[in-house]
Structure 1
Amino acid sequence: TEAGRLDLLVNNAAAIHDELVNPKPFWEKPIELGDVLDVGLRSAYVASWYAAPLLVAADKGLIAFTSSPGSVCYMHGPAYGAQKAGVDKLAADMAVDFRGTGVATVSIWMGILLTEKLRGAFAGHPDALAKTAEHAETPEFTGHLINALYHDPELGELSGHTVIGAELAARYGITDEGGRIPPSHRELLGAPREPSAVEVR
Protein backbone atom coordinates (compact mmCIF):
# COMPACT_ATOMS: atom_id res chain seq x y z
CA THR A 1 0.00 0.00 0.00
CA GLU A 2 2.79 2.42 0.89
CA ALA A 3 5.06 1.67 -2.07
CA GLY A 4 2.42 0.72 -4.63
CA ARG A 5 4.26 -2.49 -5.50
CA LEU A 6 5.89 -5.59 -4.02
CA ASP A 7 9.36 -6.75 -5.04
CA LEU A 8 10.34 -9.32 -2.43
CA LEU A 9 8.78 -11.82 -0.04
CA VAL A 10 10.84 -13.65 2.59
CA ASN A 11 9.09 -16.69 4.07
CA ASN A 12 10.88 -17.15 7.39
CA ALA A 13 8.07 -17.60 9.92
CA ALA A 14 8.10 -20.81 11.96
CA ALA A 15 6.73 -22.15 15.24
CA ILE A 16 9.75 -23.43 17.15
CA HIS A 17 8.73 -25.42 20.24
CA ASP A 18 10.92 -25.44 23.35
CA GLU A 19 11.10 -29.25 23.07
CA LEU A 20 12.37 -29.17 19.48
CA VAL A 21 15.88 -30.37 20.30
CA ASN A 22 14.74 -32.97 22.82
CA PRO A 23 16.25 -36.26 21.54
CA LYS A 24 13.13 -38.32 22.35
CA PRO A 25 11.14 -39.92 19.50
CA PHE A 26 8.38 -37.71 18.07
CA TRP A 27 5.53 -39.53 19.86
CA GLU A 28 7.09 -38.81 23.24
CA LYS A 29 7.30 -35.09 22.53
CA PRO A 30 4.33 -32.66 22.60
CA ILE A 31 1.98 -32.80 19.62
CA GLU A 32 2.48 -29.03 19.34
CA LEU A 33 5.79 -29.64 17.57
CA GLY A 34 3.56 -30.25 14.55
CA ASP A 35 2.55 -26.56 14.63
CA VAL A 36 5.61 -25.88 12.47
CA LEU A 37 3.62 -27.39 9.60
CA ASP A 38 1.08 -24.57 9.97
CA VAL A 39 3.32 -21.71 11.08
CA GLY A 40 6.10 -22.52 8.67
CA LEU A 41 4.90 -24.56 5.73
CA ARG A 42 1.27 -23.45 5.39
CA SER A 43 2.02 -19.82 6.23
CA ALA A 44 4.70 -19.77 3.50
CA TYR A 45 2.15 -21.04 0.97
CA VAL A 46 -0.51 -18.54 2.04
CA ALA A 47 1.88 -15.57 2.05
CA SER A 48 3.16 -16.57 -1.38
CA TRP A 49 -0.39 -16.93 -2.72
CA TYR A 50 -1.22 -13.39 -1.69
CA ALA A 51 2.13 -11.99 -2.86
CA ALA A 52 2.22 -13.69 -6.26
CA PRO A 53 -0.11 -11.32 -8.20
CA LEU A 54 1.73 -8.29 -6.81
CA LEU A 55 5.15 -9.71 -7.70
CA VAL A 56 4.02 -10.62 -11.21
CA ALA A 57 2.62 -7.12 -11.71
CA ALA A 58 6.03 -5.66 -10.79
CA ASP A 59 7.68 -7.62 -13.66
CA LYS A 60 10.52 -8.70 -11.37
CA GLY A 61 10.34 -10.33 -7.96
CA LEU A 62 11.78 -12.86 -5.58
CA ILE A 63 10.24 -15.21 -3.06
CA ALA A 64 12.94 -16.46 -0.69
CA PHE A 65 12.31 -19.35 1.67
CA THR A 66 14.57 -20.00 4.65
CA SER A 67 15.31 -23.67 5.17
CA SER A 68 17.97 -26.02 6.50
CA PRO A 69 19.71 -29.35 5.86
CA GLY A 70 16.93 -30.84 8.02
CA SER A 71 15.07 -31.24 4.72
CA VAL A 72 17.39 -34.09 3.70
CA CYS A 73 18.86 -35.42 6.97
CA TYR A 74 17.29 -36.33 10.31
CA MET A 75 17.24 -33.12 12.32
CA HIS A 76 15.02 -32.49 15.36
CA GLY A 77 12.40 -35.02 14.27
CA PRO A 78 9.90 -35.55 11.44
CA ALA A 79 7.78 -32.40 11.85
CA TYR A 80 10.81 -30.11 11.54
CA GLY A 81 12.17 -32.14 8.64
CA ALA A 82 8.85 -32.19 6.80
CA GLN A 83 8.52 -28.42 7.13
CA LYS A 84 11.99 -27.80 5.74
CA ALA A 85 11.55 -30.31 2.91
CA GLY A 86 8.18 -28.72 2.22
CA VAL A 87 9.48 -25.20 1.76
CA ASP A 88 12.24 -26.48 -0.53
CA LYS A 89 9.50 -28.11 -2.61
CA LEU A 90 7.39 -24.94 -2.57
CA ALA A 91 10.34 -23.08 -4.07
CA ALA A 92 10.79 -25.77 -6.74
CA ASP A 93 7.14 -25.98 -7.78
CA MET A 94 6.32 -22.28 -7.56
CA ALA A 95 9.25 -21.61 -9.92
CA VAL A 96 7.45 -23.69 -12.55
CA ASP A 97 4.29 -21.61 -12.21
CA PHE A 98 6.27 -18.34 -12.24
CA ARG A 99 8.24 -19.25 -15.37
CA GLY A 100 8.22 -16.36 -17.83
CA THR A 101 6.91 -13.80 -15.32
CA GLY A 102 10.22 -12.40 -14.04
CA VAL A 103 9.54 -13.78 -10.56
CA ALA A 104 12.04 -16.21 -9.05
CA THR A 105 11.85 -18.53 -6.04
CA VAL A 106 14.83 -19.75 -4.04
CA SER A 107 15.12 -21.73 -0.81
CA ILE A 108 18.18 -20.97 1.32
CA TRP A 109 19.67 -23.39 3.81
CA MET A 110 20.87 -21.41 6.78
CA GLY A 111 23.48 -22.66 9.21
CA ILE A 112 23.35 -22.54 13.01
CA LEU A 113 21.78 -19.16 13.72
CA LEU A 114 23.19 -16.74 16.29
CA THR A 115 19.78 -15.61 17.45
CA GLU A 116 19.15 -13.78 20.71
CA LYS A 117 17.78 -17.05 22.11
CA LEU A 118 20.98 -18.94 21.25
CA ARG A 119 23.18 -16.19 22.61
CA GLY A 120 21.12 -16.21 25.81
CA ALA A 121 21.75 -19.93 26.22
CA PHE A 122 25.47 -19.14 26.53
CA ALA A 123 25.00 -16.39 29.14
CA GLY A 124 28.03 -16.35 31.42
CA HIS A 125 30.04 -18.55 29.03
CA PRO A 126 31.57 -16.16 26.47
CA ASP A 127 34.30 -18.61 25.43
CA ALA A 128 31.76 -21.30 24.57
CA LEU A 129 29.68 -18.77 22.63
CA ALA A 130 32.75 -17.64 20.69
CA LYS A 131 33.56 -21.26 19.77
CA THR A 132 30.00 -21.88 18.57
CA ALA A 133 29.98 -18.59 16.67
CA GLU A 134 32.88 -19.83 14.52
CA HIS A 135 30.46 -22.26 12.86
CA ALA A 136 27.30 -20.13 13.02
CA GLU A 137 25.62 -17.31 11.11
CA THR A 138 23.84 -14.15 12.16
CA PRO A 139 20.28 -13.64 10.89
CA GLU A 140 21.55 -10.52 9.11
CA PHE A 141 23.90 -12.69 7.04
CA THR A 142 20.93 -14.34 5.32
CA GLY A 143 19.40 -10.91 4.76
CA HIS A 144 22.51 -9.81 2.86
CA LEU A 145 22.35 -13.00 0.77
CA ILE A 146 18.71 -12.38 -0.15
CA ASN A 147 19.52 -8.80 -1.16
CA ALA A 148 22.37 -10.04 -3.37
CA LEU A 149 20.11 -12.70 -4.88
CA TYR A 150 17.45 -10.15 -5.78
CA HIS A 151 20.01 -7.98 -7.59
CA ASP A 152 21.76 -10.89 -9.33
CA PRO A 153 21.22 -10.57 -13.12
CA GLU A 154 21.36 -14.39 -13.30
CA LEU A 155 18.70 -14.91 -10.63
CA GLY A 156 16.47 -16.73 -13.10
CA GLU A 157 19.00 -19.56 -13.33
CA LEU A 158 18.71 -20.18 -9.58
CA SER A 159 14.91 -20.06 -9.53
CA GLY A 160 13.37 -23.23 -8.14
CA HIS A 161 16.58 -24.37 -6.51
CA THR A 162 17.66 -24.83 -2.93
CA VAL A 163 21.02 -23.29 -2.15
CA ILE A 164 23.35 -23.39 0.85
CA GLY A 165 23.71 -19.93 2.32
CA ALA A 166 27.44 -20.24 3.01
CA GLU A 167 28.06 -21.29 -0.59
CA LEU A 168 25.90 -18.46 -1.90
CA ALA A 169 28.02 -16.06 0.18
CA ALA A 170 31.13 -17.31 -1.62
CA ARG A 171 29.42 -16.59 -4.95
CA TYR A 172 28.74 -12.99 -3.95
CA GLY A 173 31.80 -12.34 -1.77
CA ILE A 174 29.68 -11.75 1.33
CA THR A 175 31.05 -12.23 4.84
CA ASP A 176 29.29 -12.31 8.18
CA GLU A 177 29.78 -10.22 11.31
CA GLY A 178 33.43 -9.39 11.88
CA GLY A 179 34.42 -10.63 8.43
CA ARG A 180 33.74 -14.28 9.32
CA ILE A 181 33.13 -16.77 6.54
CA PRO A 182 30.50 -19.29 7.73
CA PRO A 183 31.23 -22.85 6.63
CA SER A 184 29.08 -24.96 4.34
CA HIS A 185 27.87 -28.14 6.06
CA ARG A 186 27.31 -29.99 2.77
CA GLU A 187 29.86 -32.73 3.55
CA LEU A 188 28.49 -33.32 7.05
CA LEU A 189 24.72 -32.97 6.58
CA GLY A 190 24.04 -33.57 2.91
CA ALA A 191 23.29 -31.68 -0.29
CA PRO A 192 20.07 -30.02 -1.44
CA ARG A 193 17.86 -32.19 -3.62
CA GLU A 194 17.83 -31.28 -7.28
CA PRO A 195 14.25 -30.84 -8.59
CA SER A 196 13.15 -33.19 -11.34
CA ALA A 197 12.43 -31.56 -14.70
CA VAL A 198 9.28 -33.66 -15.12
CA GLU A 199 6.00 -31.73 -15.02
CA VAL A 200 2.63 -33.44 -14.61
CA ARG A 201 -0.26 -31.09 -15.33
Structure 2
Amino acid sequence: MTNHPPYNEAPTGNVALVTGASRGVGRGIALSLLASGFHVYGSGRTIDQADLPQEIRRLRCDHLNDAETAGVFDVIRSETSGLDLLVNCAWGGYEKMVEDGTFTWAVPFWEQPAHRWTGMMDAGVRAAFMCSARAARMMIPRRRGVIVNISFWAAQRHLGNTIYGIAKAATDKMTSDMAVELKPFGIPVFSLYPGLVRTESVLAAAKSGVFDLSTSESPEFIGRVVNALFHDPNVMARTGQVLVAAAVAREFGVVDVDGSSPPALTPADI
Protein backbone atom coordinates (compact mmCIF):
# COMPACT_ATOMS: atom_id res chain seq x y z
CA MET A 1 0.00 0.00 0.00
CA THR A 2 1.32 3.44 -0.92
CA ASN A 3 2.73 5.46 1.97
CA HIS A 4 1.17 8.85 1.26
CA PRO A 5 1.51 11.55 3.91
CA PRO A 6 -1.50 11.52 6.25
CA TYR A 7 -3.92 14.38 6.63
CA ASN A 8 -2.51 17.18 8.77
CA GLU A 9 -5.60 16.88 10.94
CA ALA A 10 -8.51 14.50 11.12
CA PRO A 11 -11.28 15.29 8.62
CA THR A 12 -14.36 16.78 10.22
CA GLY A 13 -16.80 16.02 7.39
CA ASN A 14 -18.17 12.73 6.06
CA VAL A 15 -15.50 10.18 5.22
CA ALA A 16 -15.93 7.86 2.23
CA LEU A 17 -13.93 4.94 0.88
CA VAL A 18 -14.38 4.03 -2.78
CA THR A 19 -12.69 0.78 -3.79
CA GLY A 20 -11.63 0.35 -7.40
CA ALA A 21 -11.31 4.13 -7.72
CA SER A 22 -8.49 4.07 -10.26
CA ARG A 23 -10.78 4.27 -13.28
CA GLY A 24 -14.29 3.74 -14.60
CA VAL A 25 -17.31 3.88 -12.30
CA GLY A 26 -15.17 3.88 -9.16
CA ARG A 27 -13.19 6.90 -10.27
CA GLY A 28 -16.39 8.74 -11.21
CA ILE A 29 -17.96 8.05 -7.83
CA ALA A 30 -14.83 9.24 -6.03
CA LEU A 31 -14.87 12.50 -8.01
CA SER A 32 -18.57 13.10 -7.34
CA LEU A 33 -18.25 12.46 -3.62
CA LEU A 34 -15.29 14.82 -3.42
CA ALA A 35 -17.34 17.51 -5.18
CA SER A 36 -20.16 16.86 -2.70
CA GLY A 37 -17.92 17.60 0.26
CA PHE A 38 -16.78 14.14 1.34
CA HIS A 39 -13.24 13.40 2.45
CA VAL A 40 -12.57 10.62 -0.06
CA TYR A 41 -10.21 7.69 0.16
CA GLY A 42 -9.72 5.78 -3.08
CA SER A 43 -8.17 2.32 -3.26
CA GLY A 44 -7.01 0.23 -6.19
CA ARG A 45 -4.06 -1.59 -7.68
CA THR A 46 -3.20 1.26 -10.06
CA ILE A 47 -4.44 4.15 -7.93
CA ASP A 48 -1.00 5.81 -8.00
CA GLN A 49 -1.32 6.35 -11.76
CA ALA A 50 -4.99 7.36 -11.68
CA ASP A 51 -6.18 10.71 -12.97
CA LEU A 52 -7.49 11.99 -9.65
CA PRO A 53 -7.18 15.31 -7.82
CA GLN A 54 -4.72 15.45 -4.96
CA GLU A 55 -7.57 15.95 -2.48
CA ILE A 56 -8.47 12.27 -2.89
CA ARG A 57 -6.35 10.15 -0.56
CA ARG A 58 -4.90 7.35 -2.66
CA LEU A 59 -4.29 3.99 -1.02
CA ARG A 60 -2.72 1.46 -3.34
CA CYS A 61 -4.30 -1.90 -2.60
CA ASP A 62 -4.89 -5.22 -4.30
CA HIS A 63 -8.17 -6.29 -2.71
CA LEU A 64 -7.33 -9.90 -3.49
CA ASN A 65 -4.84 -9.54 -0.64
CA ASP A 66 -6.58 -9.44 2.74
CA ALA A 67 -3.57 -7.91 4.46
CA GLU A 68 -3.57 -5.00 2.02
CA THR A 69 -7.30 -4.55 2.49
CA ALA A 70 -6.80 -4.48 6.26
CA GLY A 71 -4.11 -1.86 5.75
CA VAL A 72 -6.55 0.45 3.98
CA PHE A 73 -8.92 0.42 6.92
CA ASP A 74 -6.06 0.82 9.37
CA VAL A 75 -5.07 4.04 7.61
CA ILE A 76 -8.63 5.38 7.65
CA ARG A 77 -8.98 4.47 11.32
CA SER A 78 -5.73 6.24 12.18
CA GLU A 79 -6.52 9.41 10.24
CA THR A 80 -10.22 9.96 10.86
CA SER A 81 -12.87 9.75 13.54
CA GLY A 82 -14.72 7.09 11.58
CA LEU A 83 -15.90 5.82 8.18
CA ASP A 84 -19.29 7.10 7.03
CA LEU A 85 -19.62 5.59 3.56
CA LEU A 86 -18.20 2.57 1.76
CA VAL A 87 -18.77 2.12 -1.98
CA ASN A 88 -17.60 -1.26 -3.26
CA CYS A 89 -16.50 -0.82 -6.88
CA ALA A 90 -13.42 -3.07 -7.03
CA TRP A 91 -13.90 -5.44 -9.95
CA GLY A 92 -11.60 -7.46 -12.17
CA GLY A 93 -14.22 -8.98 -14.43
CA TYR A 94 -13.49 -6.91 -17.53
CA GLU A 95 -9.79 -7.69 -17.70
CA LYS A 96 -8.36 -9.92 -20.45
CA MET A 97 -11.63 -9.90 -22.39
CA VAL A 98 -9.63 -10.63 -25.54
CA GLU A 99 -7.01 -13.40 -25.37
CA ASP A 100 -4.76 -14.40 -28.27
CA GLY A 101 -6.99 -12.38 -30.55
CA THR A 102 -10.19 -14.10 -29.38
CA PHE A 103 -13.01 -12.41 -27.43
CA THR A 104 -13.37 -14.96 -24.64
CA TRP A 105 -15.61 -12.99 -22.30
CA ALA A 106 -18.78 -14.32 -23.92
CA VAL A 107 -17.81 -17.95 -24.53
CA PRO A 108 -19.92 -20.71 -22.85
CA PHE A 109 -19.20 -21.33 -19.17
CA TRP A 110 -17.40 -24.61 -19.90
CA GLU A 111 -14.88 -22.73 -22.03
CA GLN A 112 -14.32 -19.82 -19.66
CA PRO A 113 -10.73 -19.31 -18.45
CA ALA A 114 -10.31 -19.81 -14.70
CA HIS A 115 -8.94 -16.29 -14.20
CA ARG A 116 -12.39 -14.87 -14.96
CA TRP A 117 -13.82 -16.48 -11.84
CA THR A 118 -11.03 -14.84 -9.84
CA GLY A 119 -11.64 -11.48 -11.47
CA MET A 120 -15.39 -11.49 -10.85
CA MET A 121 -15.91 -13.55 -7.72
CA ASP A 122 -12.70 -12.91 -5.78
CA ALA A 123 -11.72 -9.41 -6.93
CA GLY A 124 -15.41 -8.48 -7.03
CA VAL A 125 -17.74 -10.30 -4.62
CA ARG A 126 -15.17 -11.45 -2.07
CA ALA A 127 -13.45 -8.08 -2.03
CA ALA A 128 -16.79 -6.38 -1.36
CA PHE A 129 -17.52 -8.82 1.44
CA MET A 130 -14.15 -8.31 3.13
CA CYS A 131 -14.34 -4.52 2.82
CA SER A 132 -17.90 -4.47 4.12
CA ALA A 133 -16.94 -6.59 7.11
CA ARG A 134 -14.15 -4.19 8.04
CA ALA A 135 -16.34 -1.17 7.40
CA ALA A 136 -19.08 -2.62 9.60
CA ARG A 137 -16.63 -2.95 12.50
CA MET A 138 -15.95 0.78 12.21
CA MET A 139 -19.58 1.80 11.68
CA ILE A 140 -21.38 -0.31 14.29
CA PRO A 141 -19.91 1.37 17.42
CA ARG A 142 -21.00 4.77 16.05
CA ARG A 143 -24.33 3.43 14.72
CA ARG A 144 -23.63 5.42 11.60
CA GLY A 145 -22.67 4.58 8.04
CA VAL A 146 -23.87 3.49 4.61
CA ILE A 147 -22.59 0.62 2.43
CA VAL A 148 -23.20 0.61 -1.33
CA ASN A 149 -22.42 -2.38 -3.56
CA ILE A 150 -22.23 -1.66 -7.28
CA SER A 151 -24.08 -4.41 -9.13
CA PHE A 152 -25.92 -4.83 -12.43
CA TRP A 153 -28.84 -6.39 -14.28
CA ALA A 154 -26.80 -9.55 -14.95
CA ALA A 155 -28.12 -10.67 -11.56
CA GLN A 156 -31.58 -10.97 -13.12
CA ARG A 157 -31.00 -12.10 -16.69
CA HIS A 158 -28.31 -13.74 -18.78
CA LEU A 159 -26.00 -11.13 -20.27
CA GLY A 160 -23.50 -13.23 -22.16
CA ASN A 161 -21.40 -14.62 -19.33
CA THR A 162 -22.50 -17.11 -16.67
CA ILE A 163 -19.85 -16.10 -14.13
CA TYR A 164 -20.93 -12.48 -14.56
CA GLY A 165 -24.49 -13.42 -13.63
CA ILE A 166 -23.33 -15.46 -10.66
CA ALA A 167 -21.21 -12.58 -9.37
CA LYS A 168 -23.94 -9.97 -9.64
CA ALA A 169 -26.60 -12.26 -8.16
CA ALA A 170 -24.23 -13.02 -5.29
CA THR A 171 -23.67 -9.29 -4.77
CA ASP A 172 -27.40 -8.65 -4.55
CA LYS A 173 -27.95 -11.54 -2.12
CA MET A 174 -24.98 -10.37 -0.05
CA THR A 175 -26.55 -6.92 0.10
CA SER A 176 -29.90 -8.31 1.22
CA ASP A 177 -28.46 -10.46 3.99
CA MET A 178 -25.99 -7.84 5.23
CA ALA A 179 -28.88 -5.41 5.47
CA VAL A 180 -30.74 -7.76 7.83
CA GLU A 181 -27.75 -8.05 10.15
CA LEU A 182 -26.89 -4.33 10.09
CA LYS A 183 -30.45 -3.02 10.44
CA PRO A 184 -30.39 -3.07 14.27
CA PHE A 185 -27.45 -0.68 14.13
CA GLY A 186 -29.09 1.75 11.71
CA ILE A 187 -26.64 1.02 8.89
CA PRO A 188 -28.26 0.63 5.44
CA VAL A 189 -26.83 -1.45 2.60
CA PHE A 190 -27.86 -1.22 -1.07
CA SER A 191 -27.09 -2.74 -4.43
CA LEU A 192 -26.95 0.06 -6.97
CA TYR A 193 -27.31 -0.54 -10.72
CA PRO A 194 -25.76 1.92 -13.18
CA GLY A 195 -26.90 2.16 -16.77
CA LEU A 196 -24.51 2.33 -19.71
CA VAL A 197 -21.61 4.29 -18.27
CA ARG A 198 -19.13 6.19 -20.41
CA THR A 199 -16.08 4.54 -18.89
CA GLU A 200 -12.77 4.45 -20.69
CA SER A 201 -13.44 1.00 -22.12
CA VAL A 202 -16.99 1.85 -23.23
CA LEU A 203 -15.83 5.00 -25.00
CA ALA A 204 -13.14 2.98 -26.79
CA ALA A 205 -15.69 0.36 -27.86
CA ALA A 206 -18.15 3.04 -28.99
CA LYS A 207 -15.68 4.16 -31.66
CA SER A 208 -16.26 0.88 -33.44
CA GLY A 209 -20.02 1.15 -33.14
CA VAL A 210 -20.47 -1.38 -30.32
CA PHE A 211 -22.45 1.00 -28.10
CA ASP A 212 -25.10 3.66 -28.66
CA LEU A 213 -24.18 6.36 -26.15
CA SER A 214 -27.34 8.43 -26.59
CA THR A 215 -28.78 7.25 -23.25
CA SER A 216 -25.48 6.71 -21.45
CA GLU A 217 -24.34 8.08 -18.10
CA SER A 218 -21.14 9.78 -17.07
CA PRO A 219 -19.03 7.94 -14.47
CA GLU A 220 -19.79 10.80 -12.06
CA PHE A 221 -23.58 10.36 -12.33
CA ILE A 222 -23.86 7.34 -10.07
CA GLY A 223 -21.71 9.13 -7.49
CA ARG A 224 -24.28 11.93 -7.43
CA VAL A 225 -26.94 9.32 -6.76
CA VAL A 226 -24.88 7.80 -3.94
CA ASN A 227 -24.60 11.23 -2.37
CA ALA A 228 -28.38 11.74 -2.59
CA LEU A 229 -29.05 8.38 -0.95
CA PHE A 230 -26.53 9.05 1.79
CA HIS A 231 -28.29 12.27 2.74
CA ASP A 232 -31.84 10.88 2.48
CA PRO A 233 -33.39 11.15 5.96
CA ASN A 234 -35.47 8.04 5.19
CA VAL A 235 -32.52 6.07 3.92
CA MET A 236 -33.15 3.06 6.17
CA ALA A 237 -36.44 2.39 4.37
CA ARG A 238 -34.39 1.28 1.37
CA THR A 239 -31.92 -1.00 3.10
CA GLY A 240 -31.37 -4.35 1.44
CA GLN A 241 -32.92 -3.20 -1.82
CA VAL A 242 -31.68 -3.28 -5.40
CA LEU A 243 -31.84 0.30 -6.70
CA VAL A 244 -31.51 1.54 -10.27
CA ALA A 245 -29.37 4.67 -10.17
CA ALA A 246 -31.29 6.56 -12.86
CA ALA A 247 -34.65 5.86 -11.18
CA VAL A 248 -33.33 7.13 -7.85
CA ALA A 249 -31.91 10.18 -9.62
CA ARG A 250 -35.32 11.11 -11.01
CA GLU A 251 -36.87 10.74 -7.57
CA PHE A 252 -34.35 13.13 -6.02
CA GLY A 253 -33.99 15.48 -9.01
CA VAL A 254 -30.37 14.47 -9.60
CA VAL A 255 -29.04 15.19 -13.09
CA ASP A 256 -25.88 14.15 -14.86
CA VAL A 257 -22.85 16.43 -15.26
CA ASP A 258 -24.24 17.73 -18.57
CA GLY A 259 -27.68 18.44 -17.09
CA SER A 260 -29.31 15.41 -18.71
CA SER A 261 -31.53 12.82 -17.00
CA PRO A 262 -30.45 9.34 -18.15
CA PRO A 263 -33.33 6.87 -18.52
CA ALA A 264 -33.81 4.12 -15.96
CA LEU A 265 -33.04 0.96 -17.92
CA THR A 266 -34.94 -2.28 -17.42
CA PRO A 267 -33.75 -5.85 -18.09
CA ALA A 268 -35.45 -5.65 -21.49
CA ASP A 269 -33.30 -2.66 -22.43
CA ILE A 270 -29.97 -4.31 -21.69
Tell me whether the two structures share a fold, i.e. TM-score over 0.5.
yes
Aligned to 1:58: 142
Aligned to 2:91: 14
User: When the two structures are superposed, what TM-score results if normalisation uses the length of structure 1?
Assistant: 0.85
In the alignment, is the contact (CA less than 8 A) between 1:69 and 1:189 conserved in 2? no
Aligned pairs for 1:62-73 within 5 A:
62-73=146-157
Aligned pairs for 1:11-90 within 5 A:
11-15=88-92, 16-19=94-97, 22-35=105-118, 36-90=120-174
* DSSP-derived class of the 1:149 partner: helix
Q: Distance in 2 between matches of 1:60 and 1:113?
A: 30
Aligned residues: 186
Structure 2 gap segments, 5+ residues each: 1-77, 98-102
Structure 1 residue runs of 4+, over 3 Å off? Answer: 20-23
The RMSD of aligned alpha carbons is 2.0
Q: Distance in 1 between matches of 2:221 and 2:247?
A: 12
Shift of 1:21: 7.1
Shift of 1:132: 2.4
User: When the two structures are superposed, what TM-score results if normalisation uses the length of structure 2?
Assistant: 0.64
Aligned to 1:94: 178
Shift of 1:51: 0.7
In the alignment, is the contact (CA less than 8 A) between 1:136 and 1:182 conserved in 2? yes
Q: Report the AA paired with residue 184 of structure 1.
A: A
Shift of 1:17: 2.8
Higher normalized contact order (CA 8 Å, seq sep 6+, divided by chain length): 1
Shift of 1:63: 0.3
In terms of mean alpha carbon deviation, does 98-107 or 27-36 score higher? Answer: 27-36
Shift of 1:186: 1.8
Percent sequence identity over aligned pairs: 31
Which structure: greater helix fraction?
1
Aligned to 1:114: 198
